Amino acid sequence: MNSCGVNVIELESLEEFPDSCFVEDTAVLTKKCAIISNPEAKSRNKEIQYIIPTLKQFYSEENIEYIKFPETLEGGRCYDGWRAFLYWKICKNKQRWN
């Protein structure tokens, strides 16, 4: 990826979280904001705490959104950040309406 001009940041592996290699599940990134996910699998929630400090190097706190219980979002299942954010908002509001 570096040879294509992409700035790659390598993070330490987290042996206690075998799925942590799928870093895209913990956050959805756009040019404007970072959306910190809340995976459905409770065992993955602690991974989020490890990605936040890295993201704060690139996004101010006001440009970081947090998906919180009871809502869930897994970043790897999103096509792009804005659609993910809108989908989350729709689901969140739908829960309120039901």
Write out pLDDT tens, residues 10-69. Answer: 888 888 877 665 666 788 888 888 889 888 878 788 888 888 999 999 999 999 999 888
Measure the CA–CA gap between 68 and 36, rounded to whole angstroms.
9
pTM of the model: 0.69
| pLDDT for the residue 98 | 39
